[in-house]
Amino acid sequence: MGEITLTIDGQEIIGDEGMTVLDVAKRAGIYIPTLCYHPDLAPYGACRLCIVEIEKMRGLPTSCTTPANNGMVVQTKTPQLQEFRRGVLELMLSEHPHPCLTCWRRERCGPFDICLRNVDVTQRCVLCPKNKICELQDVVDYIGIADVDLPYTSRELPVDRENPFFERDYNLCILCGRCVRMCQEVRGIGAIAFTSRGSESLPGTAFGRPLRDSDCKYCGACVDVCPTGALIERRRKWEGVAEDKVATTCPYCGVGCQLELELKGGRIMEVIPLQDNDVNRGQACVKGRFGITEFVHHPDRLTTPLIKKNGGLEEATWDEALELVASKLSGLKKDEVAVISSAKCTNEDNYVVQKFARTAFGHNSVDHCARL
């Protein structure tokens, strides 16, 4: 692929043929506001926030759909663009609660603060699970909106809570279509599509049936791409922002998806598939996405060694348990002992187990349930 050079905001930037103007700008770290764009989805050109000015081109093309050409001269943040974006955004916000979005104090507002503007609880950003990780907030902050002229009309839709993992509150939907396109383009399912509801077209299942009766596989990919609080994992609802994140590998199937555990207070609060790798590239399945937190923190977890006494298993210290195991295993003839390792455990665990079997007992009776 050939190289091309563009001038964006006065900066010379090199891109590859086949990239869009937005791709090139992103690569150079230049922020252009976007909402319907997602790197894993085909360009859509619906939200019109990513408009730019390009010399010798008429109008205000959307950078996410415009192929980058050699020699293009692009402006991303002129007063005209910002004015235009403000108009687009205001229209969007007339259907999304916005008093907090335009409030200067939003960043500092805590859940128990009394709102001086008397904003209704259902409309406060601070109570939305996406607060501070919301792309709509980012866009509003970049464009700057002091007030929305159009009044906010709530869609007054009930929040859909019938599936076990995520909630769908289409009162917060900005119609970017990412969820619908993700489900169709990447997951190949098409459980949700734009369907008409009243005067509007909103994402949903055919005939508004519960997700359970659709083809949904609960992969959570729609939740991961939703820029607002419309689709959110239920568990993390009241948890706020993660304190820490740890990248790891899914403990379930042999695909080995790369996942990020979002942590708070020594617990997993949400599991997000990682983007930047050659295995799952931002995707996961229901087990990895929603099936980890609960088993890791389950009250049934074994927390102490147990020794069989009087027909039942009783709590013991590590010393007691290890002494007993060591003495029992030492007391038998070596070929009377067999060792089973595990395809669930790490490489290091397996290495140590087989080394133990082979060195302690001088035979090779070590296996695992791989065949099964």
Partner 1 sequence: MTNSIREIGNAACILAIGTNTTEAHPVIALEIKKAVRQGGKLIVANTREIELVQNADIWLRHRPGTDVALLTGMVKVIVDEGLADTAFIEERCENFDDFKESLKAFDLDSVSHITGVPAEKIAEAARTYATNSPASILYAMGITQHSHGTDNVMAIANLAMLTGNIGKPSTGVNPLRGQNNVQGACDLGALPNVYPGYQSVADAAIKEKFEKAWGATLSDKPGLTVTEMFDGAHKGTIKAMYIVGENPPLSEPDANHAIEALTKLDFLVVQDIFMSETAELADVVLPAASFAEKDGTFTNTERRVQRVRQAFEPVGDAKPDWWITCQIARKMGINGFDFESSAEIMTEIASLTPSYGGISYERLEEGGLQWPCPTPEHPGTPILHAQQFSRGKGHFVPLEYKPSVELPDDEYPLLLTTGRSLFHWHSGTMTRRVGGLNDLLGEGWVDISPMDAEKLGIAHGDHVKVSSRRGSVPARANVTEVSDEGVVYMNMHFAESSANVLTNPALDPVAKIPEFKVCAVRVEKNSN
45 binds ligand SF4 (CB under 6 A): no
Angle at 177 between CA 172 and CA 181, to 5 degrees: 140
Instruction: Give the nearest distance from C-beta 191 to ligand SF4 in angstroms.
Output: 4
Binds ligand FES (CB under 6 A): choice among 8, 13, 47, 268? 47
Question: Could you tell me which residues are beta bridge partners of residue 73?
Answer: 7
Asked whether the beta carbons of 54 and 67 are under 8 A apart, the reply is no
37 binds ligand FES (CB under 6 A): yes
Tell me whether residue 88 or residue 345 sits nearer to partner 1 (CB atom). Answer: 345
Tell me whether residue 203 or residue 288 sits nearer to ligand FES (CB atom). Answer: 203
Instruction: Give the nearest distance from C-beta 41 to ligand FES in angstroms.
Output: 10
The entry of ligand FES, partner 1, ligand SF4, none that residue 326 binds, CB within 5 to 8 Å by partner kind = partner 1
Q: Which of 77, 76, 84 is nearest to 21 (CA)?
A: 76
Tell me whether residue 54 or residue 168 sits nearer to ligand SF4 (CB atom). Answer: 168
The entry of ligand FES, partner 1, ligand SF4, none that residue 80 binds, CB within 5 to 8 Å by partner kind = none
Instruction: Count other Cβ atoms within 10 Å, centred on residue 209.
Output: 12
Q: Which of 172, 306, 152 is nearest to 231 (CA)?
A: 172
Instruction: Give the nearest distance from C-beta 210 to ligand SF4 in angstroms.
Output: 12
d(CA 42, CA 153): 31
Binds ligand SF4 (CB under 6 A): choice among 54, 219, 232, 261? 219
64 binds ligand FES (CB under 6 A): yes
Tell me whether residue 51 or residue 284 sits nearer to ligand SF4 (CB atom). Answer: 284
d(CA 11, CA 14): 10
Instruction: Give the nearest distance from C-beta 274 to ligand SF4 in angstroms.
Output: 11
Instruction: Give the nearest distance from C-beta 97 to partner 1 in angstroms.
Output: 28
d(CA 371, CA 27): 46
Binds ligand SF4 (CB under 6 A): choice among 32, 100, 179, 357? 179
Asked whether the beta carbons of 145 and 103 are under 8 A apart, the reply is no
Q: Per CB under 6 A, which of residues 233..272 are in contact with ligand FES?
A: none
Instruction: Give the nearest distance from C-beta 61 to ligand FES in angstroms.
Output: 10
SS3 329: helix
Stretch that binds ligand SF4, among 22-30, 99-107, 142-150, 222-230 (CB under 6 A): 222-230
Asked whether the beta carbons of 261 and 195 are under 8 A apart, the reply is no
Could you tell me the two tokens for 292? 């980890």
d(CA 359, CA 160): 58
230 binds ligand SF4 (CB under 6 A): yes
Instruction: Give the nearest distance from C-beta 334 to ligand SF4 in angstroms.
Output: 38
| Residue 274 identity (one-letter amino acid) | L
Strands (E), 113-219: 166-168, 193-197, 200-204
137 binds ligand SF4 (CB under 6 A): no
Instruction: Count other Cβ atoms within 10 Å, centred on residue 46.
Output: 17
Largest CA distance in the chain: 89
Dihedral angle of Cα 101, 103, 109, 112, to the nearest 10 degrees: -90
The entry of ligand FES, partner 1, ligand SF4, none that residue 203 binds, CB within 5 to 8 Å by partner kind = ligand SF4
Stretch that binds ligand SF4, among 73-81, 245-253, 300-308, 323-331 (CB under 6 A): 245-253
Interaction site with ligand FES (CB under 6 A): 34-37, 45-50, 62, 64
